[in-house]
Structure 1
């Protein structure tokens, strides 16, 4: 083979090797892409002076792709108006995503809302870039304390809008193997 041909073959081989390695991992550091995720923080857009913030750090590992009940992480929220309100933090017990929509549920582990600890809640997020939407399981009851028992991965439609410039949510779509 002449020198030009050898160089072309070597270059093509290197490009092919890089492409195969890149498709084998989505994270770029040798780890497989997680099965699903919901992350980010943002404030809700309210016509009143209410300050409502939701934050998520929920993940389903690639090895648990077939079981959304093995999701891990936390989510938290706060709701204040003129200094009055409450906050809560929940431990994730389920995460299901489809496309850019995520439903996460968890049990409240810490809160300053009397009676909230131990209650399961669910939140739905629609990742629409800079126009995300959010809904929560207690939308019709007033507070998580007033909500009857809730199964895992149950929430409401994402009816609230994120206030522009206050944050963003990111949903990694779940791709179960059926």
Structure 2
């Protein structure tokens, strides 16, 4: 039970509500701590603190019952200022497939990245590969970030080789039908939030 007189309680309550309104108004107007300048004079609108628009990172090996060694590694990013144009994505991804000492690997320069929730589609052009005829081909990969049970698909799923898939538009791939080998998946997808 309060010992203050009813009129004193009303004044205290009114003062608290007034103070809360003043703080909320100041924060909404950008006058709060988030708007404080750093030593370089950059305020809250500084793009260097803005989150990137989308990203796909991480490495995993695919599961195959015959023991194939298939690895995919991603470092793909779409900058905040490029959120309206996924074809401005940057970075690289690599993949390799070996069985009993035979196989090939490829390095890809990213040319498109679209993510939604925990799914990412990334494409790029192969810049280096020991697979004859692969350099210069565009390939696409889809990743579903499911924690320890990540899934993956790739544009050459129906042809068996990037060399045989034919021309491919940017950001095109297959459904993520492959599963990663237990203990190897650490893919991380940063969801794209385009201005629609």
- The two structures have a TM-score, normalised by structure 1, of 0.85
Secondary structure, in 3 states, of the residue corresponding to 2:187? strand
Runs of 4+ in 1 over 6 A off after TM superposition: none
Quick one: which of 35, 44, 49 aligns to 1:31?
Answer: 49
- Unaligned ranges ≥5, structure 2: 1-18, 37-43
Q: Verify the 8 A CA contact 2:59 2:185 in the aligned structure 1.
A: yes
Question: Residues 79-112 of structure 1, C-alpha deviation per residue, up to 9 Å, x if partnerless?
Answer: 0001100000110000000000000000000000
Q: Equivalents in 2 of 1:45, 1:60: separation in Å?
A: 29
1:135 aligns with 2:153: yes
1:120 aligns with 2:125: no
Match of 1:5 in 2: none
Q: Equivalents in 1 of 2:35, 2:98: separation in Å?
A: 50
1:149 aligns with 2:193: no
Q: Equivalents in 2 of 1:156, 1:166: separation in Å?
A: 21
Match of 1:66 in 2: 84
CA RMSD of aligned residues (A): 1.9
Q: Equivalents in 2 of 1:31, 1:80: separation in Å?
A: 41
Deviation at 1:150, TM superposition (A): 0.3
Secondary structure, in 3 states, of the residue corresponding to 1:69? helix
Number of residue pairs matched by the alignment = 160
Deviation at 1:167, TM superposition (A): 3.2
Larger strand percent: 1
Q: Equivalents in 2 of 1:139, 1:65: separation in Å?
A: 29
Match of 2:193 in 1: 175
Match of 1:165 in 2: 183
